[in-house]
Amino acid sequence: MGQISIVLIAGLIFLFFFEPSRGAGEFNQLLTLTVTVTVTILPSVLVYFLGSYATRTLPTNQDAQLRQLYLIKRSAIVFECLLLIGYICDVYLLNLPLLIGKGLEWFPLIYTQHLVGIVPLIAGLMLIRFALYEVEQRVTPRNWKRWELLSVHLKFLLLPLLPLFVYLSLLDLTAHIPFLAEHVYLPIALMASLIFLAYIYAPLLLGLIWRTGPLADVNLRNKLRRLAAQDNIKYKDIVVWQTELVANAAVAGIVPWSRQIFLTAALLKHFSDDEIEAIVAHEFGHVRYKHILTYLMFLIAYFLSYAIYYIYIGQSLESILSPSALIPAIGLVFFIFLYFIIIFRALSRRFEHQADLYAVALTGKPQALQLALVRLAYLNHTPRSIQRLFELFQTHPSVDRRIDFVERFKGGDPSALRYQNYLLEVKLLLALLPVLACILFFSNLFELG
């Protein structure tokens, strides 16, 4: 639920690559509005009826039920892609941005105004999530309030848009300041500053999703502080997300003075102290191995590698295939999918294994972690095992795979023991950064020459 939607990111890319075609000023506004509403609603209707049909006959085994529900949720990506295709047609064939521009002619901030065009896609994604909730209630009923669930989903969708909104607003403001508007590298400086600030103040951003409060259990808080002190893990505070929608924990904040450990109310309610210690020790593992910093380096490597890709490959493809704005947009979406869905999530799954092993080593209670993982799957209504193909698109390995990995670690498997040290993948990433920077620098130097 907390993962950034690749469909939303793709929609933003296609929206900002839009260029009006000849004769676009004479487009049919009523047709554009009608198609926009239809495209927004239709995928969610299909999800609801097909999901209801698929759950008419359910297996009696609970884990089999959860696997079937998981497959229904995974298949929803097909309808999200259908929504995206309809949205792209709406933008490029029916000139949706021009319709929005006409309605917001009074609004002076051009860049920020353009962002409003993503609203139909967000509405469509929210409707699909609502339809999935109604289908899920048929399989595994939960005492959730619809408004709370939809509020959390909406916040997760809007969260990545917040830095973008700030960035575009700053661009709009600087465009009206002559001596700032002339600086070519100002947009890059603004983007870099916002990225670093987002990583530093991530706890504040996460606090926008769920209301937080202090950990009231003094004994548990002291246990966790002593656990952190064993390996000099530093953080500002441990706070509680006031929600029972999901049992989970998280760590955010790249520097100790802003870093916070988040626990949900459901976690505190349903787990023993030993299990909570194991889960928090897992989050300490992310701190110990500097996973958040590595994610920041991974993001920087993306900007460098995409710039190199565009110089040597992207420009050539655009000149060969078509002058249409769709071509660079498709190329960028494909690059993001490969980089952040395939490569990034493969790295993330390795980090989860590494954090699991750290939790086992720190607490000395492997069984507590294994029981906690099983309970997390049960309370969050997720199957313990999923097919390897589906796991390729996940940030976390399946519960059964994580438990098996802990067993391999306990048995002295060399392929598991290597996770006690900084992974080779991370070392290669850090070594690659200056190489990419040098390639980009000399490429630009060559172009200028």
Distance (Å) of CA 430 to CA 32, 231, 342, 355, 418 = 48, 24, 19, 20, 18
What CATH homologous superfamily does 212-292+342-448 map to? Answer: Metalloproteases ("zincins"), catalytic domain (3.30.2010.10)
Residues of the chain with pLDDT under 70: 1-3, 21-25, 58-60, 62-63, 65, 178-185, 321-323, 445-449
Is 23 exposed, middle or buried, given 0-12, 13-18 or 19+ CB atoms closer than 10 A?
exposed
What pLDDT does residue 209 have?
A: 78
Give the three-state DSSP class for 412. Answer: coil
Distance (Å) of CA 14 to CA 141, 297, 328, 398 = 38, 26, 9, 33
pTM over 0.85: yes
What pLDDT does residue 370 have?
A: 96
Give the three-state DSSP class for 173. Answer: helix
What pLDDT does residue 316 have?
A: 78
Give yes or no for a contact between 337 and 81, defined as CB atoms under 8 angstroms apart. Answer: no
What are the tokens at 236?
A: 């500002």
Helical pair 29-54 and 96-103, crossing angle rounded to 10 deg? 120
Give yes or no for a contact between 394 and 349, defined as CB atoms under 8 angstroms apart. Answer: yes
- 34-54 pLDDT, tens digit per residue, is 999 999 999 999 999 988 887
Give yes or no for a contact between 155 and 208, defined as CB atoms under 8 angstroms apart. Answer: yes
Length of the chain equals 449
Q: Could you tell me the residue ranges of all domains in the chain?
A: 1-159, 212-292+342-448
What are the tokens at 291?
A: 């996973």
What pLDDT does residue 286 have?
A: 97
End-to-end CA distance of the chain: 49
The amino acid at residue 61 is N
Cβ atoms within 10 Å of 174's Cβ, excluding its own: 17
What are the tokens at 441?
A: 């620098």
